[in-house]
Amino acid sequence: MALQCGIVGLPNVGKSTLFNCLSSAKAQAANFPFCTIEPNVGVISVPDERLGQLAELVHPGRIVPATVEIVDIAGLVKGASKGEGLGNQFLGNIRQTHAIIHVLRCFDDDNVSHVDGSVNPLRDKETIDTELQIKDLETVENRLRKVEKLAQVGGDKKAKVEYGILMAYKEVLEKGQSARTVHFESKEEQQAANDLFLLTAKPVLYVCNVDEESATTGNKYVEQVRQAVAAENAEVLVIAAKTEADIAELETYEERQLFLQDIGLEESGCNRLVKAAFRLLSLRTFITAGEMEVKAWTFREGWKAPQCAGVIHTDFERGFIRAEVIKFDDYMQYGSEAAVRDAGKIHIEGKEYEVQDGDIMHFRFNV
Secondary structure class of 213 (helix, strand, coil): helix
The mean pLDDT value for 274-281 works out to 86
| 89 pLDDT tier (thresholds 50, 70, 90) | low
Pick the closest to residue 348 from 307, 312, 320, 310 (CA basis). Answer: 320
Q: Considering the chain, what is the average pLDDT of its residues?
A: 86
CA dist., res. 294 & res. 54, Å (int): 7
| 14 pLDDT tier (thresholds 50, 70, 90) | confident
Helices (H), the chain: 15-22, 49-58, 87-95, 121-149, 157-174, 187-194, 220-229, 241-249, 253-262, 269-280, 305-312, 314-318, 328-334, 337-342
Q: What is the pLDDT of residue 265?
A: 86
The mean pLDDT value for 132-141 works out to 92
Q: Does residue 57 register a pLDDT over 80?
A: yes
Q: What is the pLDDT of residue 12?
A: 82
Secondary structure class of 8 (helix, strand, coil): strand
Secondary structure class of 185 (helix, strand, coil): coil
Q: What is the pLDDT of residue 79?
A: 58
Radius of gyration for the alpha carbons in the chain, expressed in angstroms and rounded: 23
Predicted TM-score (pTM) of the model is: 0.83
Q: What is the pLDDT of residue 78?
A: 64
Lowest mean pLDDT segment, chosen from 26-40, 67-81, 176-190, 309-323 = 26-40
Q: What is the pLDDT of residue 252?
A: 82
pLDDT tens for 214-270 read 988 899 999 999 999 988 878 899 999 888 888 888 878 788 889 888 888 888 888
Q: Does residue 299 register a pLDDT over 80?
A: yes
The mean pLDDT value for 271-290 works out to 90
